[in-house]
Amino acid sequence: MKITHTPLIPEVIVFEPEVHGDTRGFFVESFRDTWFAEAGLAVTFVQDNHSRSRRHTLRGLHWQDAHPQGKLVRVTHGAVLDVAVDIRRGSPTFGAWVSRVLDDKTHHQLWIPPGFAHGFLVLSDEADFCYRCTDYYDPRGQCGIRFDDPRLGIAWPLDAQEPILSEKDRNLPFVDDLPATALPTIPHVALQKAAS
């Protein structure tokens, strides 16, 4: 397992498992709790989710306020562009974002800490997106911002194609339209290990 803290936002971490393949197919170890200790994190997962979406579907950018979730995300079929945005009040990287293509070839996974907005765009005909969460989903605590917020300037590979959005995501506010109190604060849990 290769563990890489992203240069721009070290709290966002890429996990690159070793893929063992031959003529029969492949084998990959998709989770081990010791990886998080190696990355300097103490987390416990309580819920797994799985979604399927078709090409050009864009889900996000979402977070939960009352029950913030850290997420370990991966794709088991297809490919997506996955994006994590730092929206933590007082963060030195507020408004910065990290993106990574996640697919069923490399099996890379992305750790998105609590306090980050998260979203993804489907790049393949369809994609199965799986994520492991550190807190339970709470529909009363759903929050979100627009995927095309000009302040964030996320480089979604859409060309002239309009993304497929839910009605809820289509009507999300821009980050500057939210009161500061609506944004998460920086958690008091720090990385125990320097970025590598």
Q: Kindly list the catalytic residues.
A: 62, 131
Q: How far is CA 60 from the centre of its chain?
A: 10
Q: What's the angle, vertex CA 195, arms to CA 192 and CA 196, rounded to 5?
A: 125
Nearest partner of 125 among 164, 96, 98, 86, judged by Cα: 164
Eight-class DSSP state of 192: S
Q: Is 7 left (phi over 0), alpha (psi -120 to 50) or beta?
A: alpha
Nearest partner of 61 among 127, 143, 128, 171, judged by Cα: 143
User: Alpha-carbon dihedral of residues 100, 104, 108, 111, nearest 10 degrees?
Assistant: 70
Counting Cβ atoms within 10 Å, is residue 106 exposed (0-12), middle (13-18) or buried (19+)? middle
